[in-house]
Amino acid sequence: MYRPILASRRGELEALSHLDPASAALVAPVLEIGTRDRSVVDTLRRLPSGMMPAVDVSALPDTPEAELTRWGVPVVPVVGLAERDHRLVAHGAAARAYGRRALIRLRSAQDRAGPDASTTAVERIWRFTSLAPEECDLLLDAGDVCCPADVRAAEPRVRRLLDWARRHAWRSVTVAAGGMPPTLSRLPTDEAIRLERWDWQLWRRLADAGVGYGDYGVHPAVPGTGDATDRLPTVRYTDDGSWWIYRWARRGGRGDERFADLCRTLVSAPHWPSTGAAFSWGDHELLRRARRGAGAGSAANWAAWSTSHHLAYVLSTLVHPHANGGPRWHPGQGPPQRGRSLR
Protein backbone atom coordinates (compact mmCIF):
# COMPACT_ATOMS: atom_id res chain seq x y z
CA MET A 1 0.00 0.00 0.00
CA TYR A 2 1.07 3.55 -0.76
CA ARG A 3 0.12 6.05 1.98
CA PRO A 4 0.20 9.66 0.76
CA ILE A 5 -0.42 12.25 3.49
CA LEU A 6 -2.64 14.85 1.87
CA ALA A 7 -4.41 17.98 2.99
CA SER A 8 -8.18 17.83 2.56
CA ARG A 9 -8.13 20.51 -0.16
CA ARG A 10 -10.16 20.34 -3.33
CA GLY A 11 -7.21 19.62 -5.61
CA GLU A 12 -5.87 16.65 -3.66
CA LEU A 13 -9.32 15.15 -3.12
CA GLU A 14 -10.17 15.54 -6.80
CA ALA A 15 -6.99 13.69 -7.78
CA LEU A 16 -7.97 10.81 -5.48
CA SER A 17 -11.50 10.71 -6.90
CA HIS A 18 -10.11 10.10 -10.42
CA LEU A 19 -8.08 7.01 -9.53
CA ASP A 20 -9.25 3.92 -11.41
CA PRO A 21 -10.36 0.94 -9.24
CA ALA A 22 -7.10 -1.00 -9.67
CA SER A 23 -4.98 1.96 -8.58
CA ALA A 24 -7.40 2.98 -5.82
CA ALA A 25 -7.01 -0.46 -4.26
CA LEU A 26 -3.30 0.26 -3.72
CA VAL A 27 -3.65 3.77 -2.25
CA ALA A 28 -4.48 4.32 1.42
CA PRO A 29 -4.49 8.12 1.77
CA VAL A 30 -4.02 9.87 5.10
CA LEU A 31 -6.15 13.01 5.00
CA GLU A 32 -5.35 15.91 7.32
CA ILE A 33 -8.62 17.68 8.15
CA GLY A 34 -8.26 21.38 8.88
CA THR A 35 -11.97 22.11 9.10
CA ARG A 36 -15.04 19.92 9.33
CA ASP A 37 -17.74 21.00 6.90
CA ARG A 38 -20.26 19.32 4.68
CA SER A 39 -18.12 19.65 1.54
CA VAL A 40 -15.32 17.55 3.06
CA VAL A 41 -17.72 14.79 4.07
CA ASP A 42 -19.46 14.88 0.68
CA THR A 43 -16.10 14.57 -1.09
CA LEU A 44 -15.13 11.61 1.09
CA ARG A 45 -18.32 9.88 -0.05
CA ARG A 46 -17.28 10.35 -3.70
CA LEU A 47 -13.89 8.65 -3.36
CA PRO A 48 -13.43 5.46 -5.39
CA SER A 49 -15.27 2.40 -4.19
CA GLY A 50 -13.23 0.37 -1.73
CA MET A 51 -10.92 3.23 -0.75
CA MET A 52 -11.13 3.86 2.99
CA PRO A 53 -9.00 6.90 3.83
CA ALA A 54 -7.36 7.42 7.17
CA VAL A 55 -8.55 10.72 8.64
CA ASP A 56 -6.48 12.87 10.99
CA VAL A 57 -8.68 15.29 12.97
CA SER A 58 -5.97 16.31 15.46
CA ALA A 59 -6.20 19.92 14.20
CA LEU A 60 -9.92 20.10 15.06
CA PRO A 61 -11.13 21.25 18.49
CA ASP A 62 -12.56 18.68 20.91
CA THR A 63 -16.19 18.98 19.85
CA PRO A 64 -18.76 16.36 18.84
CA GLU A 65 -18.18 17.30 15.19
CA ALA A 66 -14.66 15.83 15.44
CA GLU A 67 -16.04 12.39 16.33
CA LEU A 68 -15.70 10.33 13.17
CA THR A 69 -18.71 8.12 13.91
CA ARG A 70 -20.89 11.21 13.36
CA TRP A 71 -19.61 11.70 9.82
CA GLY A 72 -21.54 8.77 8.40
CA VAL A 73 -18.77 7.71 6.02
CA PRO A 74 -16.33 4.78 6.47
CA VAL A 75 -12.89 6.04 7.49
CA VAL A 76 -9.87 4.82 9.45
CA PRO A 77 -9.13 7.04 12.48
CA VAL A 78 -5.60 8.44 12.77
CA VAL A 79 -4.41 8.29 16.36
CA GLY A 80 -1.55 10.33 17.82
CA LEU A 81 0.48 9.24 20.83
CA ALA A 82 -0.62 12.23 22.93
CA GLU A 83 -4.38 12.09 22.25
CA ARG A 84 -6.65 12.80 25.21
CA ASP A 85 -8.54 9.91 26.77
CA HIS A 86 -11.99 10.90 25.49
CA ARG A 87 -10.73 11.31 21.91
CA LEU A 88 -9.10 7.88 22.09
CA VAL A 89 -12.46 6.44 23.13
CA ALA A 90 -14.12 8.20 20.18
CA HIS A 91 -11.45 6.90 17.78
CA GLY A 92 -11.98 3.40 19.13
CA ALA A 93 -15.72 3.65 18.45
CA ALA A 94 -15.02 4.76 14.86
CA ALA A 95 -12.50 1.95 14.34
CA ARG A 96 -14.95 -0.68 15.57
CA ALA A 97 -17.73 0.76 13.39
CA TYR A 98 -15.65 0.69 10.21
CA GLY A 99 -13.72 -2.57 10.15
CA ARG A 100 -11.74 -2.50 13.42
CA ARG A 101 -8.76 -0.59 12.05
CA ALA A 102 -6.80 2.44 13.18
CA LEU A 103 -3.62 4.17 12.03
CA ILE A 104 -1.21 5.21 14.77
CA ARG A 105 0.88 8.17 13.58
CA LEU A 106 4.21 8.62 15.30
CA ARG A 107 5.96 11.85 14.31
CA SER A 108 9.69 11.32 14.70
CA ALA A 109 10.43 15.05 15.09
CA GLN A 110 7.86 15.54 17.86
CA ASP A 111 7.42 12.20 19.62
CA ARG A 112 10.95 11.96 21.00
CA ALA A 113 10.21 9.61 23.90
CA GLY A 114 12.40 6.55 24.32
CA PRO A 115 11.27 3.02 23.43
CA ASP A 116 9.80 2.22 26.85
CA ALA A 117 7.81 5.47 26.97
CA SER A 118 6.59 4.87 23.39
CA THR A 119 5.43 1.39 24.36
CA THR A 120 3.57 2.85 27.34
CA ALA A 121 1.91 5.38 24.98
CA VAL A 122 0.72 2.82 22.44
CA GLU A 123 -0.47 0.45 25.17
CA ARG A 124 -2.59 3.32 26.46
CA ILE A 125 -4.00 3.77 22.94
CA TRP A 126 -4.89 0.09 22.66
CA ARG A 127 -6.52 0.16 26.10
CA PHE A 128 -8.76 3.20 25.46
CA THR A 129 -9.64 2.25 21.86
CA SER A 130 -10.19 -1.45 22.72
CA LEU A 131 -8.01 -2.43 19.75
CA ALA A 132 -5.22 -4.96 19.47
CA PRO A 133 -1.80 -4.19 17.93
CA GLU A 134 -2.57 -6.33 14.87
CA GLU A 135 -5.61 -4.13 14.19
CA CYS A 136 -3.41 -1.02 13.94
CA ASP A 137 -1.18 0.23 11.14
CA LEU A 138 1.88 2.22 12.23
CA LEU A 139 2.89 5.35 10.33
CA LEU A 140 6.38 6.62 11.15
CA ASP A 141 6.25 10.21 9.93
CA ALA A 142 9.74 11.68 9.44
CA GLY A 143 8.27 15.05 8.47
CA ASP A 144 10.28 17.52 6.41
CA VAL A 145 13.40 16.19 4.61
CA CYS A 146 14.49 18.80 2.08
CA CYS A 147 18.25 18.34 1.78
CA PRO A 148 21.00 15.71 2.19
CA ALA A 149 21.58 16.76 5.80
CA ASP A 150 17.90 16.14 6.59
CA VAL A 151 18.13 12.65 5.10
CA ARG A 152 21.29 11.85 7.07
CA ALA A 153 19.66 13.05 10.30
CA ALA A 154 16.35 11.27 9.67
CA GLU A 155 17.67 7.83 8.75
CA PRO A 156 19.16 6.80 12.13
CA ARG A 157 16.17 8.28 13.96
CA VAL A 158 13.75 6.27 11.82
CA ARG A 159 15.84 3.11 12.18
CA ARG A 160 15.67 3.42 15.96
CA LEU A 161 11.89 3.70 15.71
CA LEU A 162 11.77 0.65 13.44
CA ASP A 163 13.79 -1.32 16.00
CA TRP A 164 11.20 -0.32 18.58
CA ALA A 165 8.29 -1.13 16.24
CA ARG A 166 9.49 -4.74 15.91
CA ARG A 167 8.51 -5.27 19.54
CA HIS A 168 4.84 -5.22 18.54
CA ALA A 169 2.62 -7.10 16.10
CA TRP A 170 1.53 -4.20 13.86
CA ARG A 171 -0.81 -4.78 10.94
CA SER A 172 1.72 -2.87 8.80
CA VAL A 173 4.53 -0.33 9.16
CA THR A 174 4.99 2.64 6.80
CA VAL A 175 7.66 5.34 6.71
CA ALA A 176 6.59 8.71 5.29
CA ALA A 177 8.40 12.00 4.74
CA GLY A 178 7.96 15.19 2.73
CA GLY A 179 10.64 16.48 0.40
CA MET A 180 8.98 19.43 -1.34
CA PRO A 181 10.51 22.78 -0.26
CA PRO A 182 8.25 25.01 1.87
CA THR A 183 8.18 27.61 -0.91
CA LEU A 184 8.87 27.69 -4.63
CA SER A 185 8.62 31.45 -5.08
CA ARG A 186 12.40 31.89 -5.22
CA LEU A 187 12.85 29.46 -8.10
CA PRO A 188 13.45 30.74 -11.65
CA THR A 189 10.42 30.97 -13.89
CA ASP A 190 9.70 30.01 -17.50
CA GLU A 191 11.91 26.90 -17.48
CA ALA A 192 11.79 23.43 -15.97
CA ILE A 193 13.64 23.29 -12.64
CA ARG A 194 14.67 19.91 -11.27
CA LEU A 195 14.42 19.30 -7.51
CA GLU A 196 15.54 16.18 -5.70
CA ARG A 197 12.88 14.03 -4.06
CA TRP A 198 14.69 13.66 -0.75
CA ASP A 199 11.74 11.84 0.81
CA TRP A 200 12.10 9.14 -1.84
CA GLN A 201 15.84 8.93 -1.22
CA LEU A 202 15.24 8.43 2.52
CA TRP A 203 12.87 5.54 1.83
CA ARG A 204 15.34 3.97 -0.62
CA ARG A 205 18.00 4.03 2.10
CA LEU A 206 15.56 2.14 4.34
CA ALA A 207 14.74 -0.47 1.71
CA ASP A 208 16.42 -3.24 3.72
CA ALA A 209 13.86 -2.68 6.52
CA GLY A 210 10.98 -3.83 4.31
CA VAL A 211 8.61 -1.00 5.23
CA GLY A 212 5.82 0.61 3.26
CA TYR A 213 6.17 3.97 1.52
CA GLY A 214 4.38 7.23 2.24
CA ASP A 215 4.95 10.88 1.34
CA TYR A 216 3.25 14.28 1.33
CA GLY A 217 2.35 14.19 -2.34
CA VAL A 218 3.62 17.25 -4.19
CA HIS A 219 3.28 19.64 -1.24
CA PRO A 220 5.55 20.45 1.71
CA ALA A 221 5.31 18.61 5.01
CA VAL A 222 5.72 21.75 7.12
CA PRO A 223 2.29 22.97 8.33
CA GLY A 224 1.31 26.45 7.26
CA THR A 225 3.86 26.70 4.46
CA GLY A 226 3.48 26.71 0.71
CA ASP A 227 2.78 29.37 -1.86
CA ALA A 228 -0.80 30.33 -1.05
CA THR A 229 -0.33 33.86 -2.42
CA ASP A 230 1.66 32.82 -5.51
CA ARG A 231 -0.72 32.89 -8.48
CA LEU A 232 1.78 31.97 -11.17
CA PRO A 233 0.68 28.91 -13.13
CA THR A 234 2.59 26.06 -11.48
CA VAL A 235 2.90 22.34 -12.16
CA ARG A 236 4.95 20.03 -9.90
CA TYR A 237 5.74 17.06 -12.10
CA THR A 238 7.11 13.87 -10.54
CA ASP A 239 9.91 11.94 -12.21
CA ASP A 240 12.44 9.29 -11.23
CA GLY A 241 13.88 10.59 -7.93
CA SER A 242 13.02 14.19 -8.73
CA TRP A 243 10.34 16.78 -9.37
CA TRP A 244 10.25 19.11 -12.34
CA ILE A 245 8.86 22.47 -11.30
CA TYR A 246 7.16 24.56 -13.99
CA ARG A 247 6.31 28.14 -12.94
CA TRP A 248 5.27 30.31 -15.86
CA ALA A 249 5.48 34.12 -15.74
CA ARG A 250 5.67 34.89 -19.45
CA ARG A 251 3.75 38.03 -20.27
CA GLY A 252 1.61 38.68 -23.28
CA GLY A 253 -1.66 37.11 -24.29
CA ARG A 254 -4.33 35.74 -22.02
CA GLY A 255 -3.80 33.56 -18.96
CA ASP A 256 -5.01 30.55 -20.94
CA GLU A 257 -2.21 31.09 -23.45
CA ARG A 258 0.39 31.29 -20.72
CA PHE A 259 -0.69 27.96 -19.21
CA ALA A 260 -0.94 26.38 -22.66
CA ASP A 261 2.68 27.39 -23.26
CA LEU A 262 3.66 25.76 -19.95
CA CYS A 263 1.87 22.55 -20.92
CA ARG A 264 3.38 22.49 -24.42
CA THR A 265 6.82 22.73 -22.86
CA LEU A 266 5.99 19.90 -20.46
CA VAL A 267 4.56 17.45 -23.00
CA SER A 268 7.61 17.91 -25.25
CA ALA A 269 10.07 17.19 -22.40
CA PRO A 270 11.87 13.83 -22.04
CA HIS A 271 10.20 13.24 -18.67
CA TRP A 272 6.73 13.29 -20.25
CA PRO A 273 5.63 9.59 -20.01
CA SER A 274 5.74 7.39 -23.09
CA THR A 275 2.06 6.58 -22.55
CA GLY A 276 1.20 10.28 -22.59
CA ALA A 277 -2.33 11.18 -21.59
CA ALA A 278 -3.10 7.56 -20.64
CA PHE A 279 -0.67 7.71 -17.72
CA SER A 280 -3.13 9.48 -15.41
CA TRP A 281 -6.16 11.73 -15.36
CA GLY A 282 -3.83 14.65 -14.56
CA ASP A 283 -1.67 13.97 -17.62
CA HIS A 284 -4.81 13.82 -19.76
CA GLU A 285 -5.88 17.26 -18.51
CA LEU A 286 -2.40 18.75 -19.03
CA LEU A 287 -2.30 17.48 -22.61
CA ARG A 288 -5.72 19.02 -23.27
CA ARG A 289 -4.32 22.40 -22.21
CA ALA A 290 -1.24 21.93 -24.37
CA ARG A 291 -3.59 21.47 -27.32
CA ARG A 292 -5.70 24.47 -26.24
CA GLY A 293 -8.62 22.13 -25.64
CA ALA A 294 -9.62 23.78 -22.37
CA GLY A 295 -8.91 26.77 -20.16
CA ALA A 296 -5.99 27.31 -17.81
CA GLY A 297 -7.87 26.30 -14.68
CA SER A 298 -7.02 27.48 -11.17
CA ALA A 299 -4.45 26.78 -8.47
CA ALA A 300 -6.70 23.97 -7.21
CA ASN A 301 -6.72 22.44 -10.70
CA TRP A 302 -2.92 22.67 -11.01
CA ALA A 303 -2.62 20.91 -7.63
CA ALA A 304 -5.12 18.25 -8.72
CA TRP A 305 -3.33 17.49 -12.01
CA SER A 306 0.11 17.48 -10.36
CA THR A 307 -1.13 15.20 -7.57
CA SER A 308 -2.84 12.86 -10.03
CA HIS A 309 0.39 12.36 -11.98
CA HIS A 310 2.33 11.97 -8.73
CA LEU A 311 0.02 9.22 -7.43
CA ALA A 312 0.28 7.36 -10.72
CA TYR A 313 4.05 7.71 -10.87
CA VAL A 314 4.59 6.48 -7.32
CA LEU A 315 2.30 3.50 -7.89
CA SER A 316 4.14 2.71 -11.12
CA THR A 317 7.46 2.76 -9.28
CA LEU A 318 6.26 0.69 -6.33
CA VAL A 319 4.36 -1.93 -8.32
CA HIS A 320 6.62 -2.09 -11.40
CA PRO A 321 9.96 -0.61 -10.29
CA HIS A 322 11.64 -1.28 -13.66
CA ALA A 323 8.80 -0.23 -15.94
CA ASN A 324 8.08 3.20 -17.42
CA GLY A 325 4.50 2.65 -18.54
CA GLY A 326 2.80 3.09 -15.21
CA PRO A 327 -0.89 2.75 -14.37
CA ARG A 328 -3.34 3.39 -17.19
CA TRP A 329 -6.19 5.83 -17.07
CA HIS A 330 -8.81 5.98 -19.82
CA PRO A 331 -11.27 8.83 -20.36
CA GLY A 332 -14.61 7.75 -18.99
CA GLN A 333 -13.11 5.47 -16.33
CA GLY A 334 -13.38 7.73 -13.62
CA PRO A 335 15.30 8.76 -20.20
CA PRO A 336 17.60 11.71 -20.66
CA GLN A 337 16.44 14.72 -18.69
CA ARG A 338 16.31 18.35 -19.68
CA GLY A 339 16.10 21.47 -17.55
CA ARG A 340 17.96 23.08 -14.71
CA SER A 341 18.68 21.16 -11.53
CA LEU A 342 18.61 22.82 -8.12
CA ARG A 343 19.73 20.51 -5.34
- What percent of the chain is predicted at pLDDT more than 90? 71
With beta carbons less than 8 A apart as the criterion, state whether 267 and 338 touch.
no
Phi-psi region of 41 (alpha: psi -120 to 50; beta: other; left: phi over 0): alpha
Question: Measured between alpha carbons, how far is residue 1 from residues 53, 116, 273, 328 in Å?
Answer: 12, 29, 23, 18
Greater confidence (238 vs 324) lies with 238
What pLDDT shows up at residue 332?
36
Q: Going by C-beta distance under 8 Å and a sequence separation of 6 or more, which residues neighbour residue 1?
A: 26, 27, 28, 172, 174, 212
Q: What is the pLDDT of residues 229-283, one digit of tens each?
A: 567 899 999 999 999 999 998 765 566 888 999 999 999 999 999 999 999 999 9
What pLDDT shows up at residue 255?
66
What pLDDT shows up at residue 343?
43
Q: What are phi and psi of 143, to 5 degrees?
A: 70, -140
Q: Looking at the predicted structure, is the pLDDT value of residue 195 above 80?
A: yes
**Which of 151-160, 250-259, 325-334 is predicted most confidently?**
151-160
What pLDDT shows up at residue 229?
57
With beta carbons less than 8 A apart as the criterion, state whether 316 and 283 touch.
no
What pLDDT shows up at residue 323?
53
Q: What is the pLDDT of residues 97-117, one digit of tens each?
A: 998 999 999 998 777 778 899
Q: Looking at the predicted structure, is the pLDDT value of residue 160 above 50?
A: yes
Q: Looking at the predicted structure, is the pLDDT value of residue 226 above 70?
A: no
Q: How far apart are CA 270 and CA 266, in angstroms?
A: 9
Q: What is the pLDDT of residues 79-89, one digit of tens each?
A: 999 899 999 99
- What is the mean predicted confidence (pLDDT) over 19-35? 92
Residue 222 pLDDT grade (very low, low, confident, very high; cuts 50, 70, 90):
confident
Q: Which of 270, 158, 300, 213 is nearest to 28 (CA)?
A: 213
Q: How far apart are CA 55 and CA 340, in angstroms?
A: 37
> Containing H/E element for 41?
helix 38-45
Q: Which of 69, 66, 47, 64 is nearest to 56 (CA)?
A: 66
**Which of 41-55, 97-111, 204-218, 249-263 is predicted most confidently?**
204-218
Q: How far apart are CA 198 and CA 243, in angstroms?
A: 10
Q: Looking at the predicted structure, is the pLDDT value of residue 328 above 50?
A: no
- What is the mean predicted confidence (pLDDT) over 285-306? 93
Q: What is the pLDDT of residues 134-146, one digit of tens each?
A: 999 999 999 999 9
Q: Going by C-beta distance under 8 Å and a sequence separation of 6 or more, which residues neighbour residue 64?
A: 70
Q: How many CB atoms lie within 10 A of CB 293?
A: 10
- What is the mean predicted confidence (pLDDT) over 168-190? 94
Average pLDDT score over the chain: 88
What pLDDT shows up at residue 325?
42
Q: Going by C-beta distance under 8 Å and a sequence separation of 6 or more, which residues neighbour residue 216?
A: 4, 5, 6, 176, 177, 178, 179, 180, 199
Residue 326 pLDDT grade (very low, low, confident, very high; cuts 50, 70, 90):
very low
